């Protein structure tokens, strides 16, 4: 049971770390490569949407699945480092 708990905790932590790093790096990359289009901004307020979209559709499922597989692999090897001990 201890091995499973170590695996589950390792999986959740490593998966969360990978998702956080992927989001952070993609945000930095997109921010540094962004070039605003300033032509024709005089009447831009008339074309703005009436509602603000707060949340996107998220990352594609294949990327999430790849990160989950990598996290599970790392968590498995972390769990293997803790040998099972007999309490007898």
* 33: pLDDT strictly greater than 90: yes
Q: Say yes or no to pLDDT of 35 above 70.
A: yes
Distance of CA 2 to the CA centre of its chain: 27
pTM, two decimal places: 0.53
pLDDT score for 25: 93
Reading the block at residue 52, the tokens are 């603000």
Q: What is the DSSP string of 6-47?
A: HHHHHHHHHHHHHHHHHHHHHHHHHHHH-----TT-TTGGGG
Q: What is the pLDDT of residues 64-87, one digit of tens each?
A: 777 888 888 888 888 788 766 666
**Residue boundaries of the structural domains of the chain:** 1-32
Nearest to 73 by CA among 4, 11, 9, 5: 11
Query: DSSP letter at 1?
Result: -
Q: Which of 6, 10, 29, 30 is nearest to 18 (CA)?
A: 10
């Amino acid at each position: 049971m201890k091995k499973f708990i170590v695996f589950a905790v390792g999986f959740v932590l490593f998966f969360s770390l990978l998702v956080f790093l992927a989001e952070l790096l993609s945000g930095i990359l997109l921010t540094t490569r962004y070039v605003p289009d300033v032509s024709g901004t005089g009447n831009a307020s008339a074309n703005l949407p009436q509602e603000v979209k707060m949340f996107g559709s998220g990352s594609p499922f294949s990327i999430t699945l790849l990160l989950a597989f990598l996290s599970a692999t790392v968590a498995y090897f972390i769990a293997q480092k803790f040998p099972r001990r007999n309490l007898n």
